[in-house]
Structure 1
Amino acid sequence: MNINYNSDTPASVKRRRRGIDWTVLVQLLAMVPSLLVGLGIVVLLTSLLLGYIPNRPAWTQWAPLGAAGLWFLLGFLWFAPFMQSFLAQSFLLLRPPVQAELRHMEYSWHEVLRRAGLDNRAKFRLWIQDTNELNASAAGGSIVSVTRGALRYSGDHLGAVLAHELGHHLNGHTYPGLLAWWFSRPLYWLRRLVRLALRIALAILRFISYLNALVALVGYLFVGTAYLTILIGLVRGIVWAWETSWIAVVVLALAFALAPVMNRQAEYRADRIAVQLGYGPALVDVFREWQNFGFEDHGRRGLRALYLASHPPLHARIRRIENQLTHGGRYNGGTGK
């Protein structure tokens, strides 16, 4: 089948503004359970710490709620411009580009911003991930990163990769990812602490078992009882939530189950932004090259891996781009990754 691509480069465009994509709303709902668990952990730990303070003032009874509220607000602080460099370098392990890398990306990036109706002073900032993989990503409020391996591209091909990541920002796709990361930190740290304590306890019990098998058996029973208590607590919490508002539980469960699907839809919509900016044919070229490199491995995955995949198959993305190009893919200032 011959595909008639409309590859005209947009000369003048309508300024694109940031918005909230419908996929973002589902992803925000999906992170509510992590948020509630995180709030509960912060409240619990703060209450435990206050228990060790003798003769504490009466106002400290509100300290757990204050700590939970402060922790919640800190999640939004990560989007502040002055926090982006700290986030990129300390947590995402990115680095600023050197002069040669910046010069290599500069023309393509400025052209992407021009086609999107944004000037070069837009608050987005380019970063480098030191890996030879072919990849790029968008994060935080202004981070656009490219792997060292992806710098093999130039011109419209590099522009297509950057336009896709800009599409994530313009559609608000980076918001739920960063918030979910922060809201899940208390549970993540608690799980690591519990795993460390368990490893130490089991190591001690294995040592004791060589000296006194009965004492070791009592220890194993204690560890098993602790885990059973935690499991019963989780079950009781789920039952309480169901009895309190089963509709809310169903909505949150559906949102959680649909979160991987929304991740893949976000990729499609970011591709759509790149096509609307005039990078459709170049993006198809990039995806076909990735296929030649063996990135199209969905056929070798199990059903569970396919369901949890964060990105759609490359052939499906190419097909959507070709359909959009066939039916008038030139950017016209409309909405649309």
Structure 2
Amino acid sequence: PPYPQGATAPPYPQAATAPPYPQGATAPPYPQGATAPPYPQAVVPPPPGSPLHPHHISTERGRVHIAGQQRHTDATAFGNLLLHLPNFLCSLVVVTLVSLLFGGFGVVLILAWLVSGALVFHRPTESALARHLLRLRYPTPQERAKLEPVWREVTARAGVEGRNYELWVEDSDSLNAVAAAGHIVGVTSFAMNNLPNGELAAVMAHELGHHVGGHAWSGLLGYWYALPGRIAWRLLRAVTGFLFRVSRAFSCLGVAFFGLCVGGIAFATISTLYGLPLLLLGMPYALAAVGRRSELRADQHAAALGFAPMLAAVLEKLHQQEQVRIATLTAANRGAPVTETAASRLLSSHPDHHTRLHHLQPYLRPTR
């Protein structure tokens, strides 16, 4: 809008200038040879493969001391075998019933099944297990050049002959590793390519702890001898479900008759076997508790070899991955929080993040 008549626009403010120095005074000269202090740069952490990374370790080692005892069976491995005893007895009953169909050759079938547990330590069987069940593969020459120096450092600290074990790789974008059978140590491609060699050594030392403590072979042996019973249980559930659907066609009377038959068979089985089948109901929870204890033992093994800070960093990264997974599930659930039930916590094979860090604290405290 135009200004009112007789009024003029106020002057536009001019650029401000520094006030002049007092008369006779001059600006202080800048010190000769001095330059303005550099602008602080952003601190960029060194990449995982850099020797400057705080969790980088030297893998140059000379003479190695090999301990006389390479492995042993600790309390968790023994407890795992003991807890699998009811499963083994049930599987033995199943194998015995099946062997009756073969007449005189039934005894040979039972003996062959009992001896088959030795395949856990058979190298070709382990290789087939690694390929087809665990989805592992042999490392490429480049991957072997990255894994073997770290593995030699781990086994040298443990006093273990590293050539007794085979290194495998799983093509996965998750941070994970596995110890299976008697000689398999597998790591994911993500762990191999994205962890500093010290953290990778901590992961491999953890898996070596499973082998040294006997957790790997005892778990697989228990699973193998429980397999006939598991197969029979699944078949029984399928047949029972089919008969229940058939009984529903005969209204409530058919369902009641079916319930009486199943209840009678269950009572006769429990009373005949002195209540042994009732132990199977609590076996999954007991085995999961022993499995969590074996994970803490493997953590302790890695920490005792000097990898406690690296293992704590790996556990933190695992915790972050778990938080991302939970956030993704929450978003897919339209913002509703995903809560873990008490039964799922009891059936978990690994302790939670805070429990594992708590057991690492004695190894993380500075020594005096």
**Normalising by the residue count of structure 1, what TM-score does the alignment of the two structures yield?**
0.74
1:183 aligned to 2:225? Answer: yes
Compared CA separation, residues 174 and 79, structure 1 to 2 (3 A): same
Number of the residue aligned with 1:320: 359
3-state SS of the aligned residue for 1:293? helix
- Write out aligned runs for 1:58-207 (5 A): 60=104, 63-121=105-163, 123-151=164-192, 152-194=194-236
8 A Cα contact 2:181 2:216, kept in partner: yes
Residues 278-308 of structure 1, C-alpha deviations (whole Å, 9 max, x = no match): 11111011111222223597x9422111111
- Counterpart code for 1:129: E
- Of the candidates 65, 70, 81, which is equivalent to residue 17 of structure 1? 70
Compared CA separation, residues 96 and 313, structure 1 to 2 (3 A): same
More off after superposition, 314-323 vs 268-277: 314-323
- Counterpart code for 2:146: H
8 A Cα contact 2:150 2:197, kept in partner: yes
8 A Cα contact 2:136 2:171, kept in partner: yes
1:232 aligned to 2:274? Answer: no
- Counterpart code for 2:210: H
Residues 111-155 of structure 1, C-alpha deviations (whole Å, 9 max, x = no match): 11111123442x211112232221111110001111222222231
Residues 185-238 of structure 1, C-alpha deviations (whole Å, 9 max, x = no match): 2233334445666788899x69xx9xxxxxx539x949974x864553343232
Residues 231-273 of structure 1, C-alpha deviations (whole Å, 9 max, x = no match): 5334323223337xxxx89999887653222111111110111
Runs of 5+ in structure 2 lacking a partner?
Answer: 1-55, 327-337
Q: What is the root-mean-square deviation of aligned Cα atoms in Å?
A: 3.7
Equivalent-residue separation in structure 2 for 1:229 and 1:294 (angstroms): 46
1:308 aligned to 2:350? Answer: no
Compared CA separation, residues 295 and 194, structure 1 to 2 (3 A): same
Number of the residue aligned with 1:241: 273
1:284 aligned to 2:284? Answer: no
Count of aligned pairs between the two proteins: 295
3-state SS of the aligned residue for 1:294? helix
8 A Cα contact 1:291 1:314, kept in partner: yes
Equivalent-residue separation in structure 2 for 1:231 and 1:133 (angstroms): 46
3-state SS of the aligned residue for 1:144? strand
Equivalent-residue separation in structure 2 for 1:280 and 1:36 (angstroms): 41
More off after superposition, 258-267 vs 233-242: 233-242
3-state SS of the aligned residue for 2:137? coil
Shift of 1:65: 3.7
8 A Cα contact 2:66 2:160, kept in partner: no
Shift of 1:326: 2.3
Compared CA separation, residues 107 and 132, structure 1 to 2 (3 A): same
Shift of 1:91: 2.4
Compared CA separation, residues 100 and 202, structure 1 to 2 (3 A): farther
Larger Rg: 2
Equivalent-residue separation in structure 1 for 2:93 and 2:364 (angstroms): 49
**Normalising by the residue count of structure 2, what TM-score does the alignment of the two structures yield?**
0.69
Identity of aligned residues (%): 29
Equivalent-residue separation in structure 2 for 1:279 and 1:172 (angstroms): 21
- Counterpart code for 2:74: D
8 A Cα contact 1:104 1:154, kept in partner: no
Compared CA separation, residues 273 and 321, structure 1 to 2 (3 A): same
Runs of 5+ in structure 1 lacking a partner?
Answer: 1-6, 51-59, 210-215, 330-337
8 A Cα contact 2:80 2:290, kept in partner: yes
